[in-house]
Amino acid sequence: MTDLMISEVEPSNSRGSFRLGAVLSRFTLMMLTAFFALAHYAALKEEFRLSLALIVVFEGLLVLMIATRRDFSSVDLRPLAVLAGLIGSFAPLLLRPVAGAEDLLAGQLLQILGTLLQVGAALSLGRSFGLVPANRGIKSGGMFRLVRHPFYFAYIVGQTGYLISNFSTKNAAVILMGTTFQVVRIRYEEGLLLESEEYQNYAENVRWHLVPGLW
């Protein structure tokens, strides 16, 4: 464990400094998420589109999850781990509706499925939500029986549907960047969690990291 890994046994001043940063990052993400939802709500008022309505609903749920997330018992502060967590979380907030676009059936179905998966993942995850790799308790029930990172999987499904109905080079690049850093984030998260025997046992029973049948 490096000196950038904060655990329960480290001095309170190190932990206190990180807590201040955690509070600031929580507030920042809540504000950016709220602005992101408002940008889509503004477009929704001009013309009702299911792809936009689903974004507004889920982002509202996400703000609630950020506000009530559980504290950590250990956290990985290595630069790439932090960067992957931040970009993986913030990148999707750069998505924007495309003027004049129409919701396509395939996109609608994927977004509905993605939203349902996101709600299921949120219920399974509870308050154990965070930006950077940390141990906020091991989850093994609900959707975690199917894949180790159901929330990230739900993101991919929903964002793919959004892209189909709001296709632009920018949106495609944002989703590609976000997904790439989510994979890096997973590597760091699992590296931290695998220090726990409970997670080791869980990982032996649940084979898939992100996409069932693929990886």
Q: What is the domain range of residue 176?
A: 5-205
Residue 74 lies in a domain: yes
Residue the block writes with tokens 């154990």 = 128
Alpha helices in the chain (DSSP H): 12-46, 50-67, 79-90, 105-125, 150-165, 169-193, 197-205
pLDDT at 67: 67
pLDDT at 132: 66
Residue 43 lies in a domain: yes
Residue the block writes with tokens 């989850």 = 139
pLDDT tens for the chain, 215 residues: list them: 334 444 443 444 445 555 665 666 667 777 777 777 777 888 888 888 888 888 777 777 776 666 666 555 567 778 888 889 888 888 888 898 898 888 999 999 998 899 889 888 888 876 666 666 677 778 888 899 999 999 899 989 999 999 999 999 999 999 999 999 999 999 999 998 998 899 999 999 999 999 999 99
What the block records as the tokens of 78 is 């290595």
The phi, psi pair for 141, rounded to 5°, reads -100, 180
pLDDT at 203: 94
Angle among Cα 213, 182, 152 to the nearest 5 degrees reads 55
Residue 157 lies in a domain: yes
What is the maximum alpha-carbon separation in the chain? 56
**115, 158 contact by CB (below 8 A):** yes
DSSP class of 140: -
Give me the sign of the Cα torsion angle 140, 120, 125, 209. positive
Residue 213 lies in a domain: no
**Number of compact structural domains in the chain:** 1
Residue 41 lies in a domain: yes
Q: Specify the CATH number for the domain of residue 194.
A: 1.20.120
Residue 212 lies in a domain: no
pLDDT at 37: 77
Residue the block writes with tokens 């960067």 = 83
Alpha-carbon span 30 to 182, nearest angstrom: 19
